[in-house]
Amino acid sequence: MAKRRKVRTRTRTVTRTITRTRGILSNSLVSGAIAGAIASIIPDDVLWGMGDALGVTATGYLMNNRTLQTLGAFMLGAKIPSAIGGLFGGKKGGTSPSGFL
């Protein structure tokens, strides 16, 4: 009987970039408009004046938008000193760091 030859299977790694069309909800312009609407709806005195900043951060997190997450973190960082001052009898609530929100 003839001896069988060893057959070596070859493994190959294929890297593909999957491009998918993004829907209108993941568009940065629409995400920013939604975050702005949420920030304007939330009253100024919610959560020691940080409600609008938390709304922008949560919108960025839920829509997976790093820019909105960064903007929300910036707003939170700017409101922390006024919120701490409000706890100890100073000015109540936070103010928007940019002045337009």
Q: Find out whether 76 and 54 touch, Cβ atoms under 8 Å.
A: yes
- Looking at the structure of the chain, the number of domains it has is 1
Mean pLDDT of 23-50: 78
- Expressed as residue numbers, the domain containing 39 is 25-87
pLDDT tens, 45-100? 787 778 888 888 988 898 888 888 999 899 888 888 877 776 666 555 555 555 54
More confident residue, 49 or 35: 35
Query: Which pTM value belongs to this model?
Result: 0.56
Q: Judge whether 19 lies within some domain.
A: no
Q: Is 90 exposed, middle or buried (0-12, 13-18, 19+ CB in 10 A)?
A: exposed
Position 74 scores a pLDDT of: 92
What whole-number distance in Å separates Cα of residue 54 and Cα of residue 61?
Answer: 10
Q: Judge whether 65 lies within some domain.
A: yes
